[in-house]
Amino acid sequence: MSQRRKKNSSDGETKPRTSFVNKFFRSSKLRPTKAESRKKSNDLEAADFQPSDDAQKTENILDTAKPLTSEMELGSRMEKNEQFLQKLGRKAVNKCLDLNNCGLTTADVREVVALLPLLPDLEKLDISWNDLIGGTLHSVTQQMHLVSKLKILRLGSCRLTTDDVRALGEALEAIPELEELNLSWNSKVGGNLPLILQKFQEGSKIQTLELVDCDLTSEDGAFVGQLLPMMQNLEVLDLSINRNIGGSLHSIAQGLKSTSNLKVLKLHSCGLSQKSVRILDAAFRYLCELRKLDLSCNKELGGGFEDASAQLAMLEHLEVLDLHQCSLTVDDVMSLTQVIPLLSSLQELDLSANKKMGGSSENLLSRLRFLPALKSLLINNCALQSETFTALAEASAHLPALEVFDLSWNKCIGGNLKLLLETLKFSESLQVLRLSSCSLVTEDVAVLASLIQTGHLAKLRKLILSYNDSICDTGWAIFCQNMWFLKELTELDISLRPSTSRDCGQWFRHLLCAVTTLPKITEIGMKRWILPATQEEELERFHQDHRCGIHFDLGEFQEADFPRLN
């Protein structure tokens, strides 16, 4: 990168290079204090950026983290830091240092430490998904006082050690402006959470706290409950995949009553039980701003909604409700039938993998028509029966905003897809339609092709028809001949089941012809379809003639990647 040096006409000294780091951290330029500006010396004072006494004793800190003594030294150091960022393939952005998933080593951590004195206005530091830095975090935390304006700190999946956790707890006091803390996927956080968060004071500015899969203990959960009243600015709380905190939910729910600004609550796979619904329900009345609620993958939750969901209906701003794989019972479904239709702001609803609702959800699915803002509806693997599928099909006609619709693994759809398509033809928003393993037959794809031919489903981007092995070659030919109408399509999956394989029929030629007219398609799933030699040649000619970036995924049998030319 071209760099220029300009001479100072008055003193003849050389100014530091305009480095890459300096360019992107314009607001973090080193500025002299008023006292320093009165000095005649041109030496750059850096007392504000000096590490603490303890930091100077730490041999892991690079010498470059020491105070800057001249502009020449500053320029040299910034050039080294620029080379460091270029090595990682990252660019510094104003007030942001993002080294997420860079494969950082211990030596790289030292380089990060050397950067911090140059970035007093840094607001975001992300070193997540760097597994090799565990045990070295103390060298970073000892310099936290140099970036006291930090608002976002992300340390997810860094294999933090107990010493790292302890050092982090001591350092958080030096960054009072912190608004987001992510420690997810660090198992040593579990059992040590008080060491990290004990210095949080009442009136903390923390808005986002993410502790996913941290092996939190029941005691950690109780501590979170005690801490929540001090975090009245909290908007996002994610405690997912901590299966031992279910026993301390009472304490957490009590603390939630003080977080009236909370917008996102995620308790995915937290070992919740039937009693948990009642405990949480008592807290919902205080969470008037809640937008997203995730209680998914708590298999013992089933039966808890029977008579403890009244306050859920009070969440008038709720936009996302995820209850997939919660073992919902018939009585749960009856209770939710009274609640879910009242959530008029709901945009995403996931009831997937609750097989007991298959024959008892007719009223619930019928009343989804009262959710006109619904954009995503996931009801895959719910063992729907004919009556419930019919009710859902009729309700879908009243969902004009629907963009994502997943009905996969519901076998009753086979031979009955026409019921759904008759209503979906009025949809002008649908972008994703998943019908994997629905026992579809040739007649179903023929009806789908007819609907596409008439210009409906024009905004469809992803169409998943995999694992429907009963569709014959004639059906695939009819579909492929009409596929070219889907101009927005980016992904199509027609893979066969893992236990089967078949030779491609003549319809493959129609597929290639259609693909040439689809400007946005990039992925075609065809796992376990076998191309005879003649069709392999057609595919190669297609590649040579069209040079389009399309991945034909043929699984373990064959595979073709074609690079897209700009």
Which three-class secondary structure string do you get for 181-248? EECCCCHHHCCCHHHHHCCCCCCCCCCEEECCCCCCCHHHHHHHHHHHHHCCCCCEEECCCCCCCHHH
pLDDT of residue 382: 97
Instruction: Express as a percent the part of the chain with pLDDT over 90.
Output: 71
pLDDT of residue 58: 38
pLDDT of residue 348: 98
> In the predicted model, what is the mean pLDDT of the chain?
85
* CA-wise closest residue to 247 among 285, 284, 219: 219
Distance CA 536, CA 559 (A): 10
pLDDT of residue 420: 95
Task: Count CA atoms within 13 Å of residue 131 on its CB side.
Answer: 1
Given CA atoms 45, 50, 53, 58 in this order, what sign does their dihedral have?
negative
Q: Confidence band (pLDDT; 50, 70, 90) for 29?
A: very low
- Least confident segment among 242-256, 260-274, 438-452, 546-560: 546-560
Whether the predicted pLDDT of 184 surpasses 50: yes
pLDDT of residue 71: 62
Task: Count CA atoms within 13 Å of residue 334 on its CB side.
Answer: 6
What tens digit of pLDDT does each residue of 36-60 get? 433 333 343 333 333 334 333 334 4
pLDDT of residue 427: 87
Q: Tell me the C-alpha to C-alpha distance, in Å, between residue 305 and each of 294, 302, 333, 348.
A: 15, 7, 8, 19
pLDDT of residue 169: 93
What tens digit of pLDDT does each residue of 496-532 get? 999 999 999 999 999 999 999 999 999 999 999 999 9
Distance CA 292, CA 350 (A): 12
For residue 191, with 0-12 CB atoms within 10 Å meaning exposed, 13-18 middle and 19 or more buried, which class applies? middle
Q: Which amino acid is at 10?
A: S
Report the pLDDT averaged over residues 134-157: 94
Structure token digits, residue 71: 């502009």
What tens digit of pLDDT does each residue of 192-222 get? 999 999 888 777 899 999 999 999 999 999 9
Whether the predicted pLDDT of 7 surpasses 90: no
End-to-end CA distance of the chain: 25
Q: Confidence band (pLDDT; 50, 70, 90) for 86?
A: low
* CA-wise closest residue to 413 among 397, 442, 437, 433: 437
pLDDT of residue 22: 41
Instruction: Express as a percent the part of the chain with pLDDT over 70.
Output: 81
b/e map 232-247, b = 16+ CB within 10 Å: bebbbbbbbbbebbbe
Q: Which amino acid is at 539?
A: L
Distance CA 119, CA 94 (A): 10
Q: Tell me the C-alpha to C-alpha distance, in Å, between residue 549 and each of 229, 540, 546, 552.
A: 53, 13, 9, 10
Q: Which letter does DSSP use for residue 398 in this model?
A: T
Q: Tell me the C-alpha to C-alpha distance, in Å, between residue 24 and each of 18, 82, 90, 330.
A: 10, 11, 12, 58
pLDDT of residue 57: 34
| Contacts by 445-448, CB closer than 8 A, 24 or more apart | 445/471, 445/475, 445/476, 445/478, 445/479, 446/475, 446/478, 446/479, 447/417, 447/418, 447/421, 448/417, 448/421, 448/479
Distance CA 114, CA 140 (A): 9
